[in-house]
Structure 1
Amino acid sequence: MSLLPTVQQLIERENLLPPQANIVIAVSGGADSLALLHILHRLAPHFSWQLYVATLNHGLRGIQGEEDAHFVASFANQLTLPVTVGQVDVATFAQSQRLSIEAAARILRYRFLADICRQIGARFLVTGHHADDQAETILLHLLRGSGVTGLRGMALASPLPNAPEITLVRPLLRVSKTELVNYCKTHQLTPRHDTSNDDTALLRNRLRHEIVPLLAQINPNIIQTIARLADIITAEDDLIHQLYQQQVQPHLYQDDARIAMPRNTFIQLPLALQRRFIYHACQQLNPYAMPDYAHINEAIAFAKNGQVGQWVLLSSTLRLRIDYDQLIIELCAAPLPTKGYFLLPSEQAYYAISPPVDIKFDTEGWRLIASFSPQKDAAILLLPDDAQILLRTRQPGDRFAPPMLSGHTQKLKKWLIEQKVPRHVRDRLPLLVVNGTIAAILLGETWIIAAPFSLDQTEQHASKRKLYLSVYQMAL
């Protein structure tokens, strides 16, 4: 069977590209992407597709890169297809982000292609990855000690990295490189040759030019054999993924900078699901800085035995942190979360309070009103007439008389730990101090009032006045 109906049947059988879709095709000018563009252009009338060509000069190959981009634009014009030519500086980006050239190029390439898809309203991006690429990818993952997910290789369709609303489609994934080269010859297509692909100092190129040909001497069907392996692993990986969705996913909390789950839940999981949680969390937060086998195993041991407030690096940009009953995987550069707490602006904050006062902490997004006049829903403290009132952060040696200790005090540090207040929050927590004694602590929106200053105290003297405290959230 010729290549055209093979690709068409795969697209229809797997529902890869629906009729009347807007489609962006990533074209470098090599045999793979050139054959892809030619095939999709021939199929477009049958499916009523609207095709759009995108090519990117990575700024790594000087005049050759410019000529490749010009070639793609000229070929697209011959097919009367719209085309966008982009250019980026991969080397500078790689240096600034401390990434390899390959990782930096991949990030900028997908970012460029995602932008094009959004501009024209396309939900599908098509690339020319083929069966030989799949074999190389699996071997590369194997050499790097990948888990099961890595050995399943590339999917026919998957969400575009960092742009999940766009589907990345690889309709040539079951077509060999030889078939694509022959297709180009048959249709008199003259693809460009990227000389950087000849550099065997790069691992993928060495696999392509040296290792795979050597394996083919042992097994002439090595490409198909690896493809079968990927198919088997994909089915088994899907089963593990189902278990993950059932046993792990319901317990996760996530925002833009971190993913958390209960520590006890993690400890009770099978090892395979523990590893998958760490891997998946890292992949969602930064897929270009993934932990290796050693880091994942170290993180699992740390999750079981580490202390509250400690953290361990997973990669250059990701870490695992223990926060009381939670395990948190987060971006190292992200500020530690303070949501749910009203905090003072600094660890040395110190304010003299002479009611009535209305203090606005603009940078922290809240305000405090203290008055001897009644306020609706306010916390109430009993104060002596000679009260000297301060609002400050904690200091060494601070002690507190919690409501449940009948006036007895304990170290403030111990009490905060018992209340599971995160370590990074404790040093900016608002303390109301009366005549040198901590009278109240603001936890969230609630004032925890020390026993000697509470309305519940058994000895209430007429000389004591009521102080009303109210806090309000403000827009930052």
Structure 2
Amino acid sequence: MRFSELGLSWADFKSDLIDWLTRHDLMRSDARWVVGVSGGADSTLLLHALRVINQDRDLKWSLHVAHLHHGLRTVDADADEQFVRQLAEDLKLPLHVERADLAAEASSAAGVNEETARIRRYEFFERVALQIGSDIIAVAHHADDDAETVLHRICRGTGLRGLAGMRETRPIRPGSTTRLVRPLLRVRRCEIERLCAEQRIAYRTDATNLTSRYTRGRLRNLVLPMLREQVNPNVTEALLRLAEQARWLGTYLEDAAERTFESLVVQESPACVVLNTRALLSKPRIIQAEIIRSAKSRVLGVERDLSFSHTDSVLKLAAEGETGKELHLPGSLVVRKVYDRLEFRPLSDGDATPELFPVFINCPGSTDLPVLGMRLTAEIHEVDGEAARNVPNGQRRNEEWLDVQRLKLPLYVRARRDGDRFWPLGAPGTKSLGDFLSDAKIDPALRSRMGVVCDQAGPVWVMPLRIDERVKLRPTTRRALRLVLTTAGEREA
């Protein structure tokens, strides 16, 4: 789809939108839509446009407005909710509102986790779709959102699929028949705001979009303006072209890998794929990576990519691994080398856990932990006494904050060892790691699969349970290390 022209008229905008909906088989009559509406210019314009098209074409759509109050920015969020309620009433459309408590779930000294908010929003939309019998969830991401996503992924470290940015349509979750659709993904933010002004469509301005407190806000308000001023005034368009070309190339590679895949398969069943390693290694490296991704998807039924480091580990196993050696990858996937064959299968309860050798942590930066199927991200933050007191250590399962001055760097992750002792945060004194895990009622079968973050003095975080008392933040703390544990591999946008 071409990107919208600047100065697009309302008639041309509607025409382009109808063309987009037609290409994606979304102009069928009697459809039920869930339209995510925050109250911002983008979602408000999308709702108005869909309503006008529905009336003009007599499509008899049932448009349902869905709004999630995150429990954040309480005063502004309350006003957003009231605006959306009034909007739905004015347009005579059914409304679905739900309140989440992300302030308790995802807050930290650095702010709210944006990924958590996105997940909760999509979960809510999916519940509404199930409730009303809809298979279409429309959200209003636009071209500037897509450019920010691409830049964000470049900064984090991404592969070809990450460069492709957001997908115009995709299942709301792998295997679902309910589609998430983004009709405005090729329309610029400035055009959306201009069309709202032209059509006298009122909207709310999200205050978080104007701040640089969050990562996306820093990219939007600091990094991209600097790039426009000092590097390329058309950097947004350049990022969007890069994403489009990455999508073209990704489609080509998927087709090429699919044509090659069958010639490499020694055995295939719903729970197992076995490939010929010699034939695999004879292919170009990028095709090898696509074939690994395809094997994972066939076994697990999940489309999410493996990270570069995981793909590299699988190919090293194919090329250099001894018979019987195996890798455990995200999504509970086991890859095992058996002579000249590579076996992909789901993890079973009886599988032995591979040894977790020490892995040094990038501080700051991200570190993949292939054996655990996880990624550990480390960030350094300047804090004051008030921020240190407000850090909710232990309240968010996969995130902890440590006092940099009290750490004996470097940090590394390893498996627990006999004789390990630490002082669990909030406990009266030290105890053995074994006793701590017993007290926490951790299944003995799972204990060998847990990573321990250590500095040169010993354990500082038994992931994801508790940090050591000696490294907690104090009123005197001025530099803090934020550690976040996530499942390796990127989520779909």
**Aligned-pair CA distance for 1:320:** 4.1
Partner residue in 1 for 2:344: 328
The residue number in structure 2 matching 1:36 is: 46
1:168: how far off?
A: 1.8
Q: Is the 8 A contact 1:157 1:169 kept in 2?
A: yes
Residues 135 and 163 (structure 1 numbering): CA distance in 2 closer, same or farther, change over 3 Å? Answer: same
Give the match for residue 276 of structure 1: 290
Question: Are the structure 2 counterparts of residues 38 and 210 from structure 1 closer, same or farther at C-alpha, using a change threshold of 3 Å?
Answer: same
Q: Which amino acid aligns with 1:275?
A: A
Query: Is 1:24–2:34 an aligned residue pair?
Result: yes
Alpha-carbon shift at residue 322 of structure 1 (Å): 0.9
Preserved CA contact (<8 Å) 1:26 1:54: yes
| Cα deviation, residue 94, structure 1 | 5.7
- Listed one character per residue, the Cα deviations across residues 319-378 of structure 1 (whole Å, up to 9, x for unaligned) are 5431634432646xx6358xxxxxxxxxxxxxxxxxxxxxxxxxxxxxxxxxxxxxxxxx
CA shift, 1:81, in A, is 0.5
Q: Is residue 202 from structure 1 mapped to residue 217 from structure 2 by the alignment? A: no
Q: Is residue 167 of structure 1 aligned with residue 179 of structure 2?
A: yes
What displacement does 1:5 show?
3.0
How far apart, CA to CA, are the structure 2 residues paired with 1:253 and 1:67? 55
1:254-273 correspondence runs (5 A)? 260-262=273-275, 264=277, 266-273=280-287
Report if the CA contact (8 A) 1:145-1:293 is conserved.
no
**Contact 1:278–1:329 (CA<8 Å) still a contact in 2?**
no
Q: Distance in 2 between matches of 1:304 and 1:94?
A: 42
Work out the CA distance in 2 between the residues paired with 1:184 and 1:336: 59
Match of residue 105, structure 1, among 96, 99, 117: 117
One-letter amino acid of the counterpart of residue 231, structure 1: E
Gaps of 5+ in 1: 338-423, 425-476
Question: What is the Cα deviation at residue 281 of structure 1?
Answer: 6.2
- CA distance change for structure 1 residues 144 and 81 in 2, over 3 Å: closer, same or farther? same
Q: What is aligned with 1:215?
A: 227
Alpha carbons of structure 1 residues 288 and 199: separation in structure 2 relative to 1, 3 Å: farther
Matches of 1:201 and 1:253 in 2, distance apart?
49
Change (3 A) 1:141 1:200: same
Identify if the C-alpha distance between structure 1 residues 3 and 268 changes in structure 2 by more than 3 Å, giving closer, same or farther. farther
Q: Is the 8 A contact 2:34 2:137 kept in 1?
A: yes
1:300 partnered with 2:315: yes
Does the 8 Å contact 1:299/1:320 carry over to 2? no
Partner of 2:205: 193
The corresponding residue for 1:455 is: none
Report the CA distance between 1:24 and its aligned residue. 1.2
| 1:57 aligned residue | 69
Mapped to 1, the partners of 2:153 and 2:296 lie a distance apart of 17
Residue of structure 1 aligned with 2:131, choices 116, 119, 136 = 119
Query: Measured at CA, do residues 64 and 248 of structure 1 come closer, stay the same or move farther in structure 2, by a change above 3 Å?
Result: farther
Structure-1-length-normalised TM-score: 0.61
How far has the Cα of 1:12 moved from its partner?
A: 2.1
Change (3 A) 1:58 1:314: farther
Distance in 2 (CA, whole Å) between partners of 1:336 and 1:26 is 44
| 2:12 counterpart residue number | 5
- Cα distance, 1:53–1:249 mapped onto 2, change above 3 Å: farther
The Cα shift of 1:295 comes to 3.3
Q: How many residues in Structure 1 have an aligned counterpart in Structure 2?
A: 330
Q: Conserved in 1, the CA contact under 8 Å of 2:317 and 2:337?
A: no
Q: Deviations over 1:374-410 (max 9, x none)?
A: xxxxxxxxxxxxxxxxxxxxxxxxxxxxxxxxxxxxx
Secondary structure of the residue aligned to 1:164 is coil
- After superposition, the C-alpha distances for 1:172-206 in whole angstroms (9 at most, x for unaligned) are 11111111112222333332233333442432221
Q: CA deviation at 1:301?
A: 1.1
How many angstroms does 1:27 deviate by? 1.0
In the alignment, the residues of structure 1 paired with residue 143 and residue 321 of structure 2 have an alpha-carbon distance, to the nearest angstrom, of 44
C-alpha distance in structure 2 between counterparts of 1:163 and 1:62, whole Å? 36
Residues 57-456 of structure 1 mapped to structure 2, 5 A cutoff: 57-90=69-102, 101-162=113-174, 164-217=176-229, 218-248=231-261, 251=265, 253=268, 260-262=273-275, 264=277, 266-279=280-293, 291-315=306-330, 318-322=332-336, 324=338, 325-328=341-344, 330=346, 335-336=349-350
For residue 153 of structure 1, report the CA deviation from its aligned partner.
Answer: 1.7
The question of whether the paired residues in 2 share the 8 Å contact of 1:151 and 1:233 is answered with yes
Q: Could you say what secondary structure the match of 1:114 adopts?
A: helix
User: Which of the pair has more CA radius of gyration?
Assistant: 1
Aligned Cα RMSD in Å?
A: 3.4
Please say if residues 196 and 202 of structure 2, whose CA atoms lie closer than 8 Å, have aligned partners that are also in contact.
yes
Change in 2 beyond 3 A, CA 1:161/1:238: same
What's 1:46 paired with?
56
Distance 1:70 1:146, change over 3 A: same
Going from structure 1 to structure 2, the CA distance change for 1:254 and 1:219 (only over 3 Å counts) comes to: farther
The answer (yes or no) to whether the contact 2:67–2:81 under 8 Å persists in 1 is yes
Question: Are the aligned partners of 2:228 and 2:235 in contact in 1 as well (CA < 8 Å)?
Answer: yes
Q: 1:177 to 1:151 in 2, by over 3 A?
A: same
Counterpart amino acid of residue 232 in structure 1? Q
Kindly state the Cα deviation for residue 105 of structure 1 after the two structures are TM-superposed. 2.4
Paired AA for residue 29 in structure 1: G
Q: Secondary structure at the match of 1:44?
A: helix
* Misfit runs of 4+, over 6 Å: 281-284, 286-289
Deviation at 1:278, TM superposition (A): 4.2
Task: Answer yes or no: is the 8 Å Cα contact 1:261–1:328 preserved in 2.
Answer: yes
Q: Which amino acid aligns with 1:241?
A: E
Inter-CA distance 76–308: structure 2 relative to 1 (3 Å threshold) = farther
2:411 is matched with none
Write the distance in 2 (CA, Å) between the matches of 1:140 and 1:78: 38
Report the Cα distance in structure 1 between the residues aligned to 2:297 and 2:119, rounded to whole angstroms: 14
Q: Is the 8 A contact 1:199 1:205 kept in 2?
A: yes
From 12, 15, 18, give the equivalent of 2:23.
15
CA distance in 2, matches of 1:113, 1:282: 28
- How far apart, in 1, do the equivalents of 2:268 and 2:151 lie? 34
Asked whether the 8 Å contact 1:127–1:169 carries over to 2, the reply is yes
Summarize deviations over 1:201-236 as a string: whole Å, max 9, x none: 432221111122122224333322322222222222
Match of 1:452 in 2: none
Q: For 1:123-178, what per-residue CA distance to the aligned partner results, in whole angstroms no more than 9, with x for missing partners? A: 22111111101111111222222222221222322222335312222111111111
